[in-house]
């Protein structure tokens, strides 16, 4: 049956009143989905805020690793995804590729006892579990520096997966040496050894874009997400997670121009006459955009009918070790 947007919103609100559900949405979701959410935020905030809620069902509007993190932290909750969307970066590494990276380090003369793995939250539960088993932990874009600073106190080398940009950006900020597995340098010489994963959306921003805006609007500020290439972050005025970017931009004086390097939906919601998208190509995350209002309605209907769609299931062992890796982060 076909519904208008207004009818869908009405039906979603009716289900929200009737069922024990909480609707959660990441900042990159489409406007109409973002607007009907009860909880919004960056990856870390969503994991923490959703854990504190008591509803039986979590309707997670975002990508798979985010919904999985909620399930891992709160195994008793039933987490359903309106769309089984998967972050392209998280897909770049699985448990087998993680093991192969460890092997490559061993062959380069770095034994397991000298490696502390850290995984960006943008990874699937099997990778988080591998990291947990090796004594490592998870980080997000909002706490990566703090987590890496603490981890380095163990005197080991950090294997950082999957985002090479975030790993390199933190290394640059802290004056540490980094390398990327397979880049031809010796991992034994680096403090932070990065897996060669990346976000294709954040790769769209270039130094030319920054130069263009700086020339066109002298005095403009450039604010970007740390998934951007190190050359972009180095040339910017502010680097932060999605929520940190929102705070930075909304705290600026009204007449301050700012060009923002992150996903389109979020930047567009912040758009005023002084806020610009730092790219001539629309930086949309295809998988974040997959979830529609209709999908939210369908998943709520499926809960009401007793056969929830796209429910996240994680096997016991993966659940146990991924939880340890996530809780080590939350403890900090």
Residues engaged in binding ligand SF4 (CB under 6 A): 63, 87-89, 122, 199, 201, 227, 263, 285, 287-288
Residues lying near ligand 13P in the complex (CB under 6 A): 27, 42-43, 87, 122, 140-141, 199, 225, 227, 241-242
Q: Dump the DSSP string for 31-43.
A: HHHHHT-SEEE-H
Provide, rounded to whole angstroms, the least separation between the CB of residue 88 and ligand SF4: 4
Among ligand 13P, ligand SF4, none, residue 92 binds (CB under 5-8 Å by kind):
none
Residue 200 contacts by C-beta under 8 Å, 6 or more apart in sequence? 88, 89
For residues 308 and 302, the answer to whether their CB atoms sit within 8 Å is yes
Residue with smaller CB distance to ligand 13P, 53 or 284:
284
Establish whether the linkage from the previous residue to 162 is cis, with ω within 30° of 0.
yes
Residue with smaller CB distance to ligand SF4, 133 or 203:
203
Contacts 24+ apart (CB under 8 A), 269-275: 269/31, 269/34, 270/246, 275/249
Q: Rounded to 10 degrees, what is the CA torsion of 297, 303, 305, 306? A: 160
Among ligand SF4, ligand 13P, none, residue 69 binds (CB under 5-8 Å by kind):
none
Residue with smaller CB distance to ligand 13P, 159 or 199:
199
Q: Dump the DSSP string for 181-248.
A: TTSSS-GGG-SEEE-SB--TTGGG--HHHHHHHHHHSTT-EEEE-TTS-HHHHHT-SEE--HHHHHHH
Provide, rounded to whole angstroms, the least separation between the CB of residue 209 and ligand 13P: 17
Among ligand SF4, ligand 13P, none, residue 88 binds (CB under 5-8 Å by kind):
ligand SF4
DSSP label at 92?
G
Residue with smaller CB distance to ligand 13P, 179 or 239:
239
Among ligand SF4, ligand 13P, none, residue 236 binds (CB under 5-8 Å by kind):
none
Provide, rounded to whole angstroms, the least separation between the CB of residue 70 and ligand 13P: 14
* Residues making up the chain, counted from first to last: 332
DSSP label at 63?
-
Among ligand SF4, ligand 13P, none, residue 190 binds (CB under 5-8 Å by kind):
none
Provide, rounded to whole angstroms, the least separation between the CB of residue 103 and ligand SF4: 26
Provide, rounded to whole angstroms, the least separation between the CB of residue 143 and ligand 13P: 9
Residue with smaller CB distance to ligand SF4, 122 or 169:
122
- What is the spatial distance between Cα 14 and Cα 17, in angstroms, rounded to a whole number? 5
Among ligand 13P, ligand SF4, none, residue 93 binds (CB under 5-8 Å by kind):
none
């Amino acid at each position: 049956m076909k519904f208008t947007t207004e009818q869908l919103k009405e039906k979603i609100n009716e289900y929200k009143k009737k069922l024990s559900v909480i609707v959660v949405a990441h900042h990159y979701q489409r406007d109409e989905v973002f607007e009907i959410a009860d909880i919004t935020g960056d990856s870390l905030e969503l994991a923490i805020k959703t854990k504190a809620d008591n509803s039986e069902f979590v309707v997670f509007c975002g990508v798979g690793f985010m919904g999985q993190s909620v399930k891992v932290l709160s195994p008793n909750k039933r987490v359903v995804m309106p769309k089984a969307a998967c972050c392209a970066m998280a897909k770049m590494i699985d448990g087998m590729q993680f093991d192969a990276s460890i092997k490559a380090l061993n062959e380069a003369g770095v034994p397991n006892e000298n490696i502390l793995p850290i995984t960006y939250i943008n990874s699937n539960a099997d990778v988080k579990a591998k990291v947990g088993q090796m004594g490592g932990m998870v980080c997000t874009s909002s706490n990566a520096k703090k987590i890496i600073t603490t981890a380095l106190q163990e005197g080991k080398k950090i294997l950082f997966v999957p985002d090479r940009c975030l790993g390199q950006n933190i290394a640059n900020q802290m004056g540490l040496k980094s390398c990327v597995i397979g880049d031809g340098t010796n991992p034994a010489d680096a403090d932070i050894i990065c897996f060669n994963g990346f976000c294709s959306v954040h790769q769209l921003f270039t130094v030319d874009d920054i130069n263009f805006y700086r020339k066109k609007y002298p005095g403009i500020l450039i604010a970007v997400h740390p998934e951007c290439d190190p050359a972009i972050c180095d040339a910017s005025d502010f680097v932060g997670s999605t929520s940190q970017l929102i705070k930075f931009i909304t705290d600026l004086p009204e007449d301050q121009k700012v060009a923002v390097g992150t996903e389109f939906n979020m930047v567009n919601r912040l758009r005023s006459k002084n806020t610009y998208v730092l790219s001539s190509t629309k930086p949309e995350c295809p998988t974040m955009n997959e979830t529609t209002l209709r999908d939210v309605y369908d998943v709520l209907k499926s809960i009401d009918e007793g056969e929830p769609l796209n429910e996240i299931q994680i096997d016991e062992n993966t659940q146990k070790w991924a939880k340890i890796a996530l809780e080590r982060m939350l403890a900090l």
